[in-house]
Amino acid sequence: MKPDHHYILELMQQEFGLSGELCALPGYADDNFRLDGAEQSFVIKFASANADPGEQQMQNAVLEHLQVNCPDINLPRPQQNLNGQTLIKVDLFGQQRLLRVLSYIEGKVYANVEQPDRELQTAVGQLLGQIDVALADFHHAAATRTIDWDLAQLQRLRPWVGCINDPKVRDSVNRAMDDFDHYIIPAAAELPTQVVHNDANDYNIVVNDKAEGGYALSLIDFGDMVHTIRVAELAVALPYIMFGRSDPVASAAAVISGYKDWAPLMPVELELLYYLINGRLCNSLIMSSRTAAQQPEDEYIMISAKPAVALLEFMQKLGKELFLLQMDVG
């Protein structure tokens, strides 16, 4: 059962002293709402019933860390309740749910930008690079965890490849998973590791125009953050920048170039990026297919399936050598 609006408004007033207009927001696991107050808007996040308290606390901790280390990026800010707490437990229809309230980031999500130009794509890379530099010294016990969306743990998903109904797509995924086994697993020890956001998809990047020109970007939803290989940050983000583009490799190159403005990449990270991008596409397709089989009524789950199929086909036809040649970011 979903929380009703009347209850949420009462809860916000009692716990946070906040009031306003309420509307539901999409979410993969949490129940999310937007509260528009007289002067400011907020995101209300009811964690799933089985959410780990340490992981919820980690999401607040990383935002507080970035607020200090990336003060020029407008990121969500955890809000304290009237007792000074940023994470509280509430009763919701007989279930204990963890609740957080964050400042709402105004702007347009990247997915709704009709014609993203190279400047914007470069800015996405700069955003991720700046955040990863700031996260290099962020440590939290909850970040070392086993999650289905950790690219370094991709082979955990092998048993669910069969959930992909289309045999052609299933074959493409199996070939990409084989490449991952052959090229990524043996080289894993050479790849730098740290905590990363791990979910810079086109609905989690928020775009605003600067008055003086250019773009001011933000990143939302830190729910998939994990301690993993650093280059996973790019491998996760790049497919969403490449989807539907006339020259997807040039789009990827712009992001990588921007990332390197802040965070230089090791040669081995660039060398393996092709396989990691394909691995992320497999990750998305397996998870989407598995979850869609369990929840066929939820359209949000399959939002990236079709472009992921098309991009994986494009990448496998292109091959690693041409990908690196066309990317030419050195």
pLDDT in tens, the chain (330 residues): 566 889 999 999 999 999 999 999 987 778 899 999 999 999 999 998 889 999 999 999 999 999 999 999 999 999 999 999 999 999 877 788 999 999 999 999 999 999 999 999 999 999 999 999 999 999 999 999 999 999 999 999 999 999 998 999 999 999 999 999 999 999 999 999 999 999 999 999 999 988 788 899 999 999 999 999 999 999 999 999 999 999 999 999 999 999 999 999 999 999 999 999 999 999 999 999 998 888 776 666 666 688 999 999 999 999 999 999 998 765
Q: For residue 41, give the DSSP letter.
A: E
Contacts 24+ apart (CB under 8 A), 80-84: 80/16, 81/15, 81/16, 82/15, 82/16, 82/17
Contacts of 159 (CB under 8 A, 6+ apart): none
Token pair 């089989």 in the structure block, residue = 293
Specify the pLDDT at position 1.
54
CATH number at residue 51: 3.30.200.20
**CATH code of the domain in which 144 resides:** 3.90.1200.10
Question: Which residues span the domain enclosing 26?
Answer: 5-103
167/290 same-domain check: yes
**Rounded Cα distance, 251 and 238, in Å:** 8
Are 60 and 45 in contact by the 8 Å Cβ rule? The answer is: no
Pick from 284, 253, 270: nearest CA to 176: 284
Out of 50, 72, 103, a domain closes at 103
Specify the residue for token string 């309230």. 101
Helix ranges, 180-304 (H): 185-187, 232-242, 248-262, 267-294
Report the candidate in 222, 320, 326, 225 with the shortest Cα–Cα distance to residue 277: 320
Burial class (CB in 10 A: 0-12, 13-18, 19+), 236: buried
- Partners of 25 in beta bridges: 32
pLDDT at residue number 243: 96
Q: Based on the structure, what is the number of domains in the chain?
A: 2
Is residue 317 domain-shared with residue 170, that is, in the same domain?
Answer: yes
Q: Determine the Cα angle at 14 with ends 8 and 19, to 5°.
A: 60
Give which of 193, 124, 204, 125 is closest to 153, Cα–Cα.
193
Give the count of beta carbons closer than 10 Å to the beta carbon of residue 304.
21
Q: Is residue 51 domain-shared with residue 160, that is, in the same domain?
A: no
Of 80, 103, 126, the residue at which a domain comes to its end is 103
Q: Are residues 320 and 195 part of one domain? A: yes
pTM, to two decimals: 0.93
Domain end: 70, 103, 136, which one? Answer: 103
